[in-house]
Amino acid sequence: MDIRSEILAEHSRAQSLRIAAWIGNRKDRFDQLIKLFLQDEYRVVQRSAWIISFVAASHPALMTPHLSAMVARIEVPDLPTAVKRNVLRILQHISIPPDLHGPVMNTCFSFLEDPQEMIAVKAFSMTILANLAKEYPEIKNEIRLLITDLLEHTPSAGIRSRAKKVLTAIK
């Protein structure tokens, strides 16, 4: 399968799942997908991010060698929301290596502070920060302050729901 051609042929959940199933637990195929995610044009990057999240959900170990590059990718200014959303979706479910804790925390705090950031990106950032607060309890107060501010200024159902879960988790 030519992953790039398949990504461009159709943009649907079904197609993304088909490609993810083809990749399976094959490191060589996953590496091809990551290369597209990190180096290709906007549309391919955006669509590959969704496929990566599906593969990572089934085979999280495939992500390990690529975590540094993924974290560096979400630090890039003006990154498409779909890319941020899918990388953060992955990071909330895996054990982040200690050397990436600082960059991930900084990025997630920045996303929470940005009034223009999308709700899903903020929700995933809250969960990642709550997970990291288990190892760094000193960040709990900052998380609480940001969530309180979000609830005042962005009281969407998604923010309220995730905020409630995160506030309970960081008590």
- What CA–CA distance (Å, rounded) separates 135 from 110? 20
Mean pLDDT of the chain: 94
At 41-67, the pLDDT tens digits run 889 998 998 999 999 999 999 999 999
Spatial CA neighbour of 34 closest among 62, 14, 60: 62
Checking if the pLDDT of 153 tops 90, the result is no
Q: Is residue 139 packed enough to be buried (19+ CB in 10 Å), middle (13-18) or exposed (0-12)?
A: middle
At 74-104, the pLDDT tens digits run 998 888 888 899 899 989 988 999 999 999 9
> pTM above 0.85?
yes
Checking if the pLDDT of 142 tops 90, the result is yes
Delimit the domains of the chain by residue range. Answer: 1-66, 95-171
CB atoms within 10 A of CB 59: 16
Checking if the pLDDT of 154 tops 90, the result is no
What's the first-to-final CA gap in the chain, in angstroms? 48
DSSP string, 125-170: HHHHHHHHHTT-GGGHHHHHHHHHHHHHH---HHHHHHHHHHHHHT
> Looking at residue 54, what is its pLDDT?
94
Average pLDDT over residues 3-28: 97
Checking if the pLDDT of 105 tops 90, the result is yes
Amino acid at 38: L
Q: What are the Cα distances from residue 78, in Å, to 7, 29, 82, 89, 116?
A: 22, 28, 11, 18, 11
User: For residues 67-88, b (16+ Cβ closer than 10 Å) or e, as one string?
Assistant: beebbebbeeeebeebbbbbbb
> Looking at residue 42, what is its pLDDT?
87
Sign of CA dihedral 54, 87, 42, 113: positive
Average pLDDT over residues 4-8: 97
